[in-house]
Structure 1
Amino acid sequence: MSSPDSYRIEVQAVAEFVPAQSRPEDEHYVFAYHVTIRNTGKVSAQLVSRHWVITDGTGKVQEVHGQGVIGEQPLLAPGDSYSYTSGCVLETPVGTMHGSYQMVAEDGRAFEAEIPPFMLAMPKVLH
């Protein structure tokens, strides 16, 4: 029988504004986010799908569901980590993202890995 510690995934995400792809005059703000997923549990687990909640500066919410991340469904053994970069577009210079990854452990148990909230912000907008 497995303990709750068997199924532990830590997620860290950091966003950056992409000025070269943004057009503030058209309310088009592009952000890249860099995610590291680390298996701190005791069993291997595969990331099978994702759920993002993206909120812009006006409170407008977009939800994104999809298979894997950037076209992959990485399998993480205990101690392994996986990093990737993706992006999103907002109509405001600030916003937030959070969500979860749906994981399946090698023993067949499905569980969720929480993606803690992180900020999307154009430089010099927040003090």
Structure 2
Amino acid sequence: MYDKTTREIRVSVRPTFLEDQSSPDENYYVWAYRVQIENQGRETVQLRDRYWRITDGFGRVQEVRGPGVVGEQPVLKPGERFEYTSGTPLATPSGIMLGTYRMETEEGESFEVEIPAFSLDSPHQPIQIN
């Protein structure tokens, strides 16, 4: 599990390689990732936008931006949490993801919450000894 807290908003991510949806012979690898966003602060916030930076094993970068997550813009009161699962395919057997959520307070103040960088690893990647 990967965790990061920004301004009392804790984001935890757990990636899982999906062997049954992947086709290594065709350079197609798929991961699911479960995200938990927890409001550990004292103000109510709403998740407005997301930004993901996905880098494959060759260093190729894909950026994803958009409103909310999985079609929702959840409101988190103090002590509340929101969980969702999403996924991403890559053309390489490993990669890395990181990003940010843009949150907004009830007063209309926007701020960025960091999503921790997390590794996308499959059993199909070559093992390197350094």
Output the TM-score relative to the length of structure 2. 0.89
1:38 maps to 38
Tell me which stretches of 4 or more aligned residues in structure 1 moved more than 4 Å. Answer: none
2:25 partner amino acid: E
SS state at 2:20 partner: helix
1:24 maps to 24
1:3 maps to none
Change (3 A) 1:30 1:124: closer
Which whole-Å CA distance do the structure 2 matches of 1:50 and 1:38 have between them?
16
1:75 maps to 75
- Whether the 8 Å CA contact 1:8–1:113 is kept in 2: the answer is no
The residue correspondences of 1:111-122 to structure 2 (distance < 5 A) are 111-122=111-122
CA RMSD of aligned residues (A): 1.3
1:31 partner amino acid: W
2:54 maps to 54
Which whole-Å CA distance do the structure 1 matches of 2:73 and 2:123 have between them?
33
SS state at 1:42 partner: coil
- Whether the 8 Å CA contact 2:31–2:87 is kept in 1: the answer is yes
Q: Structure 1: any 5+ residue segments left out of the alignment?
A: 1-6
Q: Percent identity?
A: 49
SS state at 2:73 partner: coil
- Whether the 8 Å CA contact 2:38–2:82 is kept in 1: the answer is yes
Output the TM-score relative to the length of structure 1. 0.91
Which whole-Å CA distance do the structure 2 matches of 1:23 and 1:123 have between them?
12
